[in-house]
Amino acid sequence: MKGMIPRGVFALGFLRLLGILLAVALAPARAADGELRVETGFEGASARVVSIDQATRSIGFEPGGDPRHGWPCWWSFRIRGAQAGETLTLRLRALSAPIPQSAYGWLKDKPLSLDWASPSRAAWSVDGETWQQTESGVREGDWMSYRLKATAEQVLVAWGPPYTASRSAEFVRGCAQKNPAVAKAESLCQSRDGRPVPLLRMAEGGRPGSQRGTLWIQARQHAWECGSSWIAQGVAEWILAGCPEAAWLRQQYEIVVVPVMDVDHVASGQGGKEALPQDQNRDWSARPHWPEVAAAQVALGALMDAGRLSAFIDLHNPGPGDRAVHFHTPPDEASKPGQRAAIERFEGLAKMHFTKVLPVQEKLVKSGAVYSPTWMQMSHCWVAARAPESTLALCIETPWNTDRSNQEGYREMGAAIGLTLSKFLQESGVISPKP
Ligand SMILES: [Zn+2]
């Protein structure tokens, strides 16, 4: 009949409408019910959800990284649907995919051990600014379980306190705005994916740049090692603060701090270490793959040509069992006697000034052929090979698996490094660049 809607079509339309109405009606109810959800759509996030048990309030997950882009130990995600006061359980297991490339015989073509992905205490935050540590996790076979009391509907959780490329940019900009006469916000270069690599340059007073030695402090060639960026921030904060040792450093030297070198792997939540085609800290060759390394080589090369590089410090985080800070240094056969003497003197001072934060390991780790077949392409070895006798070149490894491995402890370690550098250089006398 003309104008009449067939009964079937009407019924279909009615059901569809009913469905939409039900969905709309149920959506807020689901949120109010506190159904747990995991979100990873933000900078630095990384997780593969294995299961979510709404009844036991338990989330099973693996790190979200792809082993081709580095060791899959980093994880970071947001939980939604929590109810304040309830206890959540995070159950973490290792990613089973093998590591395609490794300088370490025990790792090639094997999955990364859960030990690297499971700090004894994980990090959590409500606002993404202030991070706390959970109680100690419990290892049960292939799983590590963390229990966490939610204080709000959403909780951010991570391997350690995240430090993204955006945070680095914000920190560097903030330093320059607050201290316009001392600090400048720059970019080391543009990354392969087109991101700026924030760099902070600090110097105070009228002494011309050409007459200043330079201290170069960089962090995060390995994207998962978030603690090293907090330490770099701690060094910069200490240098810009009020104590006489920091003021002396600002007035006599130029200080360059790069809180995040590998901005791309950090942004995409990848591990970075041993990423294809080449680990960033094995890329210090004549033809580097990573723009950050190439740009650092150019800047450091110019400083060395001018006789202006006084210290080069590369910040890292070590293995899961390390509880003391240690120094990776160039091997004896690839360093000059003056460089080795500088490292020993710095180490002696570090043992005085670091230990209020974390103990210092008794022995230096020398990065020769025994340590890695590509040791010559590590940053501090590259610098030592080109730098004069007087330059301090080393890598500092700060533990990530202790009760001090948090925002506060890392920043205090940064302050301790700043103070040690100042004492070290005051003892040495100000290094005069070549005329
Ligand atoms: Zn590292």
Q: How far is the CA of 319 from the centre of ligand 1 (A)?
A: 9
Distance, CA 26 to ligand 1 centroid (Å)?
A: 48
Residue 127, phi then psi, degrees to nearest 5: -105, 0
Do 61 and 90 form a contact (C-beta atoms < 8 A)? Answer: yes
The model's pLDDT over 201-231, given as tens digits with 9 standing for 90+, comes to 999 999 999 999 999 999 999 999 999 999 9
Question: What is the Cα–Cα distance from 261 to 271, expressed in whole angstroms?
Answer: 13
- How far away, in angstroms, is 15 Cα from ligand 1 center? 58
Whole-number Å distance, alpha carbon 317 to ligand 1 midpoint, is 6
Distance 91 CA to ligand 1 centre (A): 26
pTM of the model: 0.91
Cis, peptide link before residue 162, omega less than 30° from 0: no
Distance, in Å, from the CA atom of 307 to the CA atom of 213, rounded to the nearest integer, reads 8
Q: How far is the CA of 104 from the centre of ligand 1 (A)?
A: 14
d(CA 89, CA 147): 5
Q: How far is the CA of 245 from the centre of ligand 1 (A)?
A: 29
**pLDDT one digit per residue (tens) for the chain, 435 residues:** 333 444 444 444 444 544 444 444 444 444 457 899 999 999 999 999 999 999 999 999 999 999 999 999 999 999 999 999 999 999 999 999 999 988 887 888 999 999 999 999 999 999 999 999 999 999 999 999 999 999 999 999 999 999 999 999 999 999 999 999 999 999 999 999 999 999 999 999 999 999 999 999 999 999 999 999 999 999 999 999 989 999 999 999 999 999 999 999 999 999 999 999 999 999 999 999 999 999 999 999 999 999 999 999 999 999 999 999 999 999 998 899 999 999 999 999 999 999 999 999 999 998 877 777 788 999 999 999 999 999 999 999 999 999 999 999 999 999 999 999 999 999 987 555 553
Tokens of 384: 């030592």
Q: Which of 64, 69, 133, 63 is nearest to 92 (CA)?
A: 63
Ligand 1 mean position, distance from CA 281 (Å) = 8
Cβ atoms < 10 Å from Cβ of 1: 5
Domains delineated in the chain: 37-158 (2.60.40.3120), 165-428 (3.40.630.10)
Residue 80 contacts residue 153 (beta carbons within 8 Å): yes
Expressed in angstroms and rounded, the spacing between residue 73 Cα and the centre of ligand 1 is: 12
Using one digit for the tens of pLDDT, what is the confidence trace for 352-370? 999 999 999 999 998 877 7
Separation CA 190–CA 185 (nearest Å): 14
The CA 224 to ligand 1 mean position distance, Å, reads 8
* Residue 310 alpha carbon to ligand 1 centre in Å: 23
Q: How far is the CA of 251 from the centre of ligand 1 (A)?
A: 31
User: What is the 222 CA–ligand 1 centroid distance (Å)?
Assistant: 5
